[in-house]
Amino acid sequence: MLLSSSPAGKTGWPWTRDESLLTNPLTSYPKISIVTPTYRHGHYLEETMRSVFSQDYPNLEYIVIDGGSADETVSLLERYDEQLSYWASEPDRGHAHALNKGFACATGEILAWINAGDFYFPQALHRVAQTFQSFPEITWLTAAQQGHFSEKSEIYTLFTPGFSKSFFMAGGYLGFEPFALDFIQQESTFWRKSLWERAGSHLNESLRMANDFELWRRFFTYADLALLDAPLGCFRHHADQRSASQAALYQQEAWACLGRKGNSLLSYAYRIFKKLRLDERLEWRDALRPFYQQELRFVTFDVTGNLQCKRRKLI
């Protein structure tokens, strides 16, 4: 895909391509639809868009829904009009409404969204497509290597061991920390359209913050979450983001999605549990076994780029 030249002073991914990373191992390419909701984030939007376009994925549908920004957003969208499948800039009812508008236009077999400011790592879409193509039983996946972009412009890629449905439903993944390893990273999560349709084909617009968590809860009703051992998405940390300023509201809404009042003791106890390696003690393993009773799918790439899918338990 042809892109306009990078702004002055912008180097590295995704401003410039590394052609050695852009391989095409697939024989066919399922359509991937990506939606970016944005409002007054024009200063971050271009980097996000270029990380999508620079994937060089040949069957891509990219949709940007802006809430009527008065900054440079519209001029950016006009500049990339030929590369975008669809874009709109008009007032909306918030983040979830923008996403619902975008996904209503999406025609891909694989769906995801990435917010303005976040970005994809090289080869992310190829790896996702290869995984879904190789393992039809997988209906949604996330990355084992979670990317974080700090305010100091440093990238951290942190490993998470996996996500148990039973522990999710118990509220075990609700410790809201800047670099939480036991938190399903939205920008690294992809799913089949068939699962999206089974789960209702929408995000809950009554929630202000925990729209992703509520969607994951519905997904877990139908399927376990597979883990792909590769970096896919990178979350940008900055002072004015909603997730930083409204963490308490996110937890409150997420607990309500699980049908109970907020209590973060379980999630913090779990972090202490893992930090002290209490899971290596037999009595703790037995006590927590109900939370880890199902096996998780873990997909890895070998040295030749071929995929292997194994089942394993968290403990």
Q: Interior CA angle at 262 toward 257 and 264, to 5°?
A: 115
Q: What are the distances in angstroms from CA 229 to CA 35, 128, 164, 223, 302?
A: 23, 11, 16, 19, 10
Bridge partners of 307, per DSSP, are 301
Domains, the chain, ranges and CATH? 26-312 (3.90.550.10)
Strands 155-159 and 140-149 come out as: antiparallel
C-alpha Rg value of the chain to the nearest Å: 19
Euclidean distance between CA atoms 105 and 96, whole angstroms: 14
188 HSE (CA, 13 A, CB side)? 29
Contact 179, 158 (CB under 8 A): yes
Q: What are the distances in angstroms from CA 86 to CA 58, 109, 126, 186, 244?
A: 16, 17, 22, 22, 30
Average pLDDT for consecutive 10-residue bins of the chain (315 residues)? 63 64 73 98 95 96 98 97 98 97 99 97 96 96 90 78 84 60 87 99 96 97 95 84 71 88 53 51 49 68 73 64
Residue 274: its pLDDT value, please?
54
Residue 160: its pLDDT value, please?
82
Strands (E) across the chain are located at: 32-38, 60-66, 86-89, 110-113, 119-120, 140-149, 155-159, 190-192, 226-236, 296-301, 307-312
Residue 162: its pLDDT value, please?
83
- CA 235 remoteness from chain centre: 9
